Chains A and B, each alone.
Chain A
Amino acid sequence: MFTYTLRRLLFAIPTLLIISFVIFALLDLAPNDPTGDLPLTIPPEVREQIRASLGLDQPFFFRYLYWLQQFFINEPLNILERLTGWQFGDGTRMRVLSWATRSPVVDLIVQRLPQTLWVVGLAYVFGVMIAVPIGVISAYKQYSIFDQIGTFLSMVGYSVPTFFTGVLLVVIFSSWLQWFPSVYDTNLVVNDFSSFLQQIKQMALPVTVLSLFNASQITRFVRASMLDNLHQDYVRTARAKGVKEKSVLLIHVLRNSLIPVVTVIALGVPTIFSGAIITEQIFRVNGLGQLLIIAVQGADIPLVQTLTFIFAVLIVLFNLIADVLYGILDPRIRYD
């Protein structure tokens, strides 16, 4: 198992390098321009100077190598300096700077990560917590009223986009009932009960929207996987031996059914980090999804490049984790 993990990790390095190059090339080829959003009153000569000051007049390959150096050497050194207090070199290393804000990209990401983890992460946890029991009961009582309603709701949750449910909830709960705020206050500091309550309130709507979406996806997996196992021979054997129905379901069937579900959940974790672009935008949660979409719209290439690359790293990493988990959970699977 260890050698397998090590081998996979080594393989990840060329994979990620290729991914970073593809992302960079794609962004460079896209007909976007960081000065495109500026008012037309800014004349072309000035735009040209702005582009030059961003380094856009340099050749493509040079810019790519420069980014590699900034991202893989300068930024880690910078983090190390901050953590240890040591000084490497003269401290004039150029960090990856966002074009729109002209501030270090990593700082922007660090500033936004907590909100994404809280809102999107919590929604993921809630989604899983809702999905598993519904999936189990749906499968166990296949074609019952509960199953029908569960299937219907998960289909609705899966097929209705978050930009619809989000706005719907805002109209109902913010505009009409005025129970929850429609705008996420990112300056809120939780230091007493009332601010805690305020935080719960402002998280309620985005978390609901995303939980619904996550739950409906995972429910389908749990139900399908449970159904596969319920008709297996070992279930009949267990029942024939006189094992209690509860134990059959929750110990024998559920544990086996969760093996594929766990990998699905693990593979979904990177999507937490990439944020929920639409939901964050609707509720103005300053998370990574919103950061990415603003960067894309403003053709802020260093920011898009760095963010998408970090997502790529997470996806590669969680693929590995899912594979390893699979081996741990299912003794039949061996990689060595």
Chain B
Amino acid sequence: MKNLKLLLAGTVAALTFAGAAAHAERGTDGDLKILFWQAVSTMNPYLSGGTKEVYASSMVIEPLARYDEKGSLVPMLVTEIPTVENGGVAKDLLSMTWKIKPGVKWSDGTPFTADDVIFTWKYCIAPDGGCAQAAQYEGVKSVEAPDPQTVKITFTEPKPYPYSAFVGAQSPVIQKKQFENCVGAKAPGCTSANFGPIGTGPFVVKEFKPNDVITLTANTNYRDAAKPAFATVTLKGGGDAASAARAVLETGEYDYAWNMQVEPEILAKMVAAGKGKLETAFGTQVERINLNHYNADPSLGAKRSTKEAGPHPSLSDPAVRRALSLAIDRSIIVEAGYGAAGKATCNIVPAPAAVASTKNDNWCLKQDLVAANKLLDDAGWKKGPDGIRAKNGVKLSYLYATSTNSVRQATQELVKDMWSQIGVGAELRNASASVFFGGDPASPDTFQKFYADVEMYTNNFDGTDPEKYLAEWLCDKVPGPANGWQGQNIPRYCNPAYDKLLGELSKTAELDKRAALAKQLNDMLTEEGAHIPLVHRGSVSSHSLKLAGVKMNAWDSELWNVADWSRTK
């Protein structure tokens, strides 16, 4: 009898559960509490390119298409992804056409049309607007609407990979009606629109307290009547990563916390409390050590790290560059500083899988002190009485710069120790991140100026196509006084063969050929020692065990599928 009762109770429970799943309704799961330890400053990602702003606004405003957690494009506001095969992309690669889904409405109930898409483009390219996402619209000649449901984008030159404008969390569509009078220099003045953009996404801004907390409610005009499951979202900001992790994993006050930059062992202890779990997603972030190809001797004054300074006295030797890489044990660096959020890598383009090379993994992934020492011996670098190698009065002793950050300083110490085992000395230096990455041409401590022999930081690319990223190593992108230190070729690498190969990539449209070329370019950079890739970094976030539907995404906003999130009963 007892068993029967249990069985019945179980069946009833199972039935109600199944029922709940089948008849999911909008707004039945209460409040979703999200914690960002860096507070959100605005809800308009065009006015602030910060990751936190892009992520927060992705719950409200949407692009035409997004990347899913695997990095493939999924249509959001359109019927399908245009390709050459389905005729959406012109054969000459000079234009593409998006078909808007019928019946999509803004949260204020008005229809979403191609006009809004055109307006978004005009908003971002308007002079004096300081649009942070202008790079997404690079190469776009015009955006037109043959009819209200069709958007035609024309490019200035053939675009083999055309998915940039209106694709991904960085370039969402904003409403023309709301932002019409906020174009160009007037953009910052429209505070209420910037804090509460009208969107097509699952949530609507109810109240925005800048740099503090955002309250959102479910969008009653959202295109899927059953979603979102949560009635409201509270996105709190501020504090630090460790206490944010604690609020989810230990005290359970929050459902989701973004960007857990916390020492691996501390995180592991918090997870042991049993209230939440970590989610990791690997995108394209790679922590690397750039090797300066120009002379960075301080005695050269303003000339250092420029072409006039001449090649670096020791780092221009390929044997030295190779030895520096061989001496590093990447797995120890990962273990000490990154835990589950890092993987040893020898690629500057580590993902997506289609373009990730494995060619150099055999020699590069494993530490080989014997080979490194031999390379240096053979090249004539002899150990002096202080244990540092030298040749013709040039010492293998380097100024090693990076930004201030506990993981980076720990990595510096490890690398310094590893290099000392092959007779290479290092002097460690760090500068505050806002200075190091600030790009102030008057500051000697920026990563662009590179007034050091080697420097370490992380960089990545948006989306899944590496062409624009690989173009950063072109000869004409070397930063210097002539371009106000604005180039992106930080290691000052220059190889005409590389430039030529990249030119080929920019003319190739077939995806598998593009992937092969990208791999080749990536391998060239690693083999020639433009830099030493160290760690493929993932993003780690934590969420409560009671939160279902989280699909951690490194290719788009982490909150990309917040409409599908729900609370487990």
Do A186 and B212 contact each other (CB < 8 Å), given the known contacts A52-B130, A281-B238, A284-B236?
yes
User: Which residue of chain B is the closest to A104 with respect to CB atoms?
Assistant: B191
Question: Which of chain A's residues have a CB closer than 8 A to the CB of B130?
Answer: 49-54
Q: How far is the CA of A61 from the CA of B50 in the complex (A)?
A: 29
Decide if B439 touches A108 in the complex (CB within 8 Å): no
Q: Is the CB of B434 within 8 A of A187?
A: no
Kindly list chain B residues whose C-beta atoms are within 8 Å of the C-beta of A282: 239-240, 243
Total contacts A-B at CB 8 Å: 178
Closest to B459 in A: A40
Q: Is the beta-carbon distance between B135 and A42 smaller than 8 angstroms? A: yes
**A209 CB to closest chain B CB, in angstroms?**
14
- A40→B48 CA distance, assembly (Å): 13
How far is it, in angstroms, between the C-alpha of A100 and the C-alpha of B40 when the chains are bound?
9
- Chain A, range 268-309, C-beta contacts under 8 Å to B: 281-282, 284, 286, 290-291, 294, 297-299
Other-chain residue from B134, B239, B435, B460 in contact with A281 (beta carbon distance below 8 A): B239
Q: Is the CB of B439 within 8 A of A44?
A: yes
For A31-75 the 0/1 string (1 means CB < 8 A from B) is: 111011111111111111111111000000000000000000000
B42 CB contacts on chain A under 8 angstroms: 100-103
Whether, in the assembled complex, B210 has its beta carbon less than 8 Å from a beta carbon of chain A, the answer is: yes
Nearest residue, chain A, Cβ from B35: A183
Cβ-neighbour of A183 out of B134, B210, B247 (below 8 A)? B247
Contact A46 B132 (CB under 8 A): yes
Residues of A128-158 whose CB lies within 8 A of B: none
Interface size class of B (residues with CB under 8 A): 35 or more
**Cross-interface CB contact of B488 among A35, A37, A44, A51, cutoff 8 Å:** A44
Interface string of B426-451 (1 = CB under 8 A from A): 00000001111111101101101000
Q: Which of B103-111, B250-258, B506-514 contacts A (4 or more CB under 8 A)?
A: B250-258
Task: Assess whether A195 is interfacial by the CB under 8 Å rule.
Answer: no
| A114 interface residue (CB < 8 Å to B) | no
Does chain A have a CB within 8 A of B49? yes
The distance from the CB of A179 to the nearest CB of chain B, in whole angstroms, is: 11
Q: Kindly provide the distance from the CB of A56 to the nearest chain B CB, expressed in whole angstroms.
A: 10
Residues of A within 8 A of B445 (CB): 31
Contact: A182 with B243, CB < 8 Å? Answer: yes
In the complex, how many angstroms separate the beta carbon of B351 from the nearest chain A beta carbon?
15
Interface residues on A, range: 35 or more
- By DSSP majority rule, is chain B's interface helix, strand, loop, or mixed? loop
List the A residue with the shortest CB-CB distance to B442. Answer: A31
**Is the Cβ of B131 less than 8 Å from the Cβ of A38?**
no
> Considering the chains assembled together, what is the distance between the CA atoms of A237 and B51 in angstroms?
72
Contact yes or no, B215 A187, CB < 8 A: yes
CA distance A186 to B213 in the complex (A): 8
A5 within 8 A of B: no
Q: What residue of chain A has the Cβ atom nearest to residue B462's Cβ?
A: A41
Assess whether A170 is interfacial by the CB under 8 Å rule. yes
Q: With an 8 A cutoff between CB atoms, is B129 at the interface?
A: yes
Kindly list chain A residues whose C-beta atoms are within 8 Å of the C-beta of B195: 103
Q: Show the binding face of A for B, using Cβ within 8 Å.
A: 31-33, 35-54, 97-98, 100-104, 107-108, 111-112, 167, 170, 174-175, 178, 181-183, 185-187, 281-282, 284, 286, 290-291, 294, 297-299
Could you name 26 residue pairs across A and B whose Cβ atoms are closer than 8 Å?
A31-B435, A31-B442, A31-B446, A35-B438, A36-B434, A39-B460, A41-B135, A41-B460, A44-B448, A46-B135, A49-B129, A53-B130, A53-B185, A101-B211, A102-B187, A102-B191, A103-B194, A174-B246, A182-B251, A183-B253, A286-B213, A286-B238, A290-B238, A291-B211, A294-B39, A299-B434
Q: A35-B439, A183-B35 are in contact. List 16 more A-B contacts (CB 8 A).
A: A35-B438, A41-B462, A44-B486, A45-B134, A48-B484, A50-B49, A52-B128, A54-B130, A101-B41, A108-B210, A175-B250, A181-B253, A182-B247, A183-B236, A185-B236, A187-B234
Instruction: Give me the 8 closest cross-chain CB pairs, A-B, nearest first.
Output: A53-B130, A33-B438, A36-B438, A31-B443, A44-B486, A102-B188, A286-B212, A36-B434
